Amino acid sequence: MATTLISGGTVVSAIGRRAADVLIDGESIAAILAPGHAAAYGITPDTVIDATGKYVVPGGVDAHVHMSLPFGGTVSADDFDTGSRAAAWGGVTTIVDFASQTVGLDVRETLAARHAEAAGECHVDYAFHQIIGDVNEESLEAMTYLVENEGVTSFKMFMAYPGVFYSDDGQILRAMQNASESGALMMMHAENGIAIDVLVAQSLAAGDTDPKFHSYTRPEELESEATHRAIKLARVAGNVPLYIVHMSASEALEEVSRAQHMGLNVFAETCPQYLYLSIEDHLAQPGFEGAKWVCSTPLRSKHEHHQKDLWKGLRMNELAVVSTDHCPFCMKDQKELGVGDFSKIPNGMGGVEHRMEMIYQGVVMGEMTLERWVETCCTTPARMFGLDKKGVLEPGADADVLVWDPNNTTKIGIDDKHHMAMDHSSYEGFEVDGKVDTVISRGRVVVQNDTYVGSKGHGKFVKRGLNKYIH
């Protein structure tokens, strides 16, 4: 097997940093060596990557992405090929996408179909969560089967989107009880979709049809109420581990914090868009521009406390993970479906390429430590979702490595760094400190010298174990 030595860098983990060299043998990390010690052990690597002045961190794990997701009469613009390639460009070496069971569908068939879509297409490793949108005897049985046989150990449900993905409280409780038995993790899109639909209808009837009304009809109360309800249902279902996705609002975060103080198994993620973007500066841009930033949960007002509180939540571990909820739609032919009616704008934005960059900027701004950047973007998502060989640089772990240059900068925008299959950038004009230098996926260099050298089909499906914070 070919050996690679990443020498001269500072290895950063979730718990500290030190000068060290990383030895890769084939697809795995073989050793972390004191600087310059490879020769003393008689090791002559086939390849040496000079990381002098750079950080050497685990490859990013993005636990929430949607490639080729059918939504609102269209399909998200990145497929597994383009989306996983953009992930690699962003220093992300594992993505977790979703198989989706909706009413009338067979869970195992939807998972098999998703496997068929992704097989041979991915540039980095991938795994799946399973969406459960129709709770019945068969789907409950299938949930157990997936945990025991398929390496799919987390299930996502929706309190939003009535008629599409929505489950009522009784259905959610039944699925949670099942997960409590099997040891699986429940993921929740926590927004009160029944109430939101009333507000949407009223807004449209009043002629308030611009993109910004997407946010005004999804007030934070309806996110925090659903978060609260999900927490209570999870407790009734035997304190099943619960993971709230894409948290955007202060009040919802308070619900999570309170549950954690009670000792409940409640976790949450946020996404870069909620830390940087706002109604005023983005969603409420003139004309139809704001459609670019229509996603659910929605962007919030910059005049409220959300961004400050979300950063604090990340520091305090109330928010354990940063994901992207990557779900890009082009303006042309896709977002445009909602001209004159914001409720018809496909929900989602692209960001899989920029998470490491945008959260590293939080380190630069003093919002979190370098170690916490690694923890929230690499290590915790791997442990949360049972990706046992990902998210750490340790002997025996997969050789997924990001060499990060802190002395460089990254300019984000459609004519700058932009490799996603969308006709605009959610972060157009952002210029951040730090830069992806070299990316290694299971021992293979995929990005180096601003050049893509990976290939479609290198990425493999990864079977996941159980959540490592409970089990």
| DSSP summary character for residue 461 | B
Name the residue type at position 183: G
**Among residues 322, 321, 471, 465, which one has the least CA distance to residue 388?**
465
Of 173 and 187, CB closest to Zn ion: 187
Q: Cα separation of 433 and 358, whole Å?
A: 9
Q: How far is the CB of 323 from Zn ion (least distance, A)?
A: 8
Q: Cα separation of 154 and 386, whole Å?
A: 9
Part of the chain binding Zn ion (CB under 5 A), chosen from 33-41, 226-234, 292-300, 321-329: 321-329
Q: How far is the CB of 314 from Zn ion (least distance, A)?
A: 19
- Our finding on whether 325 is near Zn ion (CB under 5 A) is yes
Q: Cα separation of 5 and 193, whole Å?
A: 52
Part of the chain binding Zn ion (CB under 5 A), chosen from 229-237, 269-277, 320-328, 369-377: 320-328
Of 100 and 203, CB closest to Zn ion: 100
Of 274 and 404, CB closest to Zn ion: 274
Q: Which of residues 343-372 bind Zn ion (CB under 5 A)?
A: none
Contact 220, 251 (CB under 8 A): yes
369, burial (CB in 10 Å: exposed 0-12, middle 13-18, buried 19+): middle
Of 117 and 181, CB closest to Zn ion: 117
Both structure tokens of 105: 């569908």
Q: Which of residues 5-44 bind Zn ion (CB under 5 A)?
A: none
R_g (Cα) of the chain, nearest Å: 21
Part of the chain binding Zn ion (CB under 5 A), chosen from 276-284, 311-319, 323-331, 380-388: 323-331
Q: What b/e readout covers 39-77, taking b as 16+ CB neighbours within 10 angstroms?
A: eeeebebeeebebeebbbbbbbbbbbbbbbbebbebbbb
Q: How far is the CB of 273 from Zn ion (least distance, A)?
A: 12
Give the 3-state secondary structure of 313-345. Answer: HHHHCCCCEECCCECCCCCCCCHHHHCCCHHHC
Q: Cα separation of 93 and 82, whole Å?
A: 14
CA 260 to chain centre: 22
Of 56 and 230, CB closest to Zn ion: 230
Q: Which of residues 119-148 bind Zn ion (CB under 5 A)?
A: none
C-beta nearest to Zn ion: residue:
325
Of 31 and 327, CB closest to Zn ion: 327
x/- letters, 271..310, toward Zn ion (CB under 5 A): ----------------------------------------
x/- letters, 411..450, toward Zn ion (CB under 5 A): ----------------------------------------
- Helix (H) / strand (E) element for 21: namely strand 21-25
Q: How far is the CB of 5 from Zn ion (least distance, A)?
A: 39
Share in percent of the chain as helix, strand, coil (round to 5) = 35, 25, 45
Q: Cα separation of 408 and 120, whole Å?
A: 34
Of 215 and 441, CB closest to Zn ion: 215
Q: How far is the CB of 370 from Zn ion (least distance, A)?
A: 28
Q: How far is the CB of 66 from Zn ion (least distance, A)?
A: 6
Q: How far is the CB of 291 from Zn ion (least distance, A)?
A: 18
Q: Which of residues 82-101 bind Zn ion (CB under 5 A)?
A: none
Part of the chain binding Zn ion (CB under 5 A), chosen from 179-187, 222-230, 287-295, 319-327: 319-327
Residues 6+ apart with CB under 8 A from 271: 64, 246, 322, 323, 324, 325, 351, 355
Of 125 and 325, CB closest to Zn ion: 325
Q: How far is the CB of 464 from Zn ion (least distance, A)?
A: 18
- How big is the site for Zn ion, counted in residues (CB under 5 A)? 1
Part of the chain binding Zn ion (CB under 5 A), chosen from 3-11, 34-42, 318-326, 354-362: 318-326
Part of the chain binding Zn ion (CB under 5 A), chosen from 73-81, 126-134, 289-297, 317-325: 317-325
Of 131 and 184, CB closest to Zn ion: 131
Of 76 and 203, CB closest to Zn ion: 76
Q: Cα separation of 310 and 247, whole Å?
A: 8
Q: Where on the chain is the footprint of Zn ion (CB under 5 A)?
A: 325
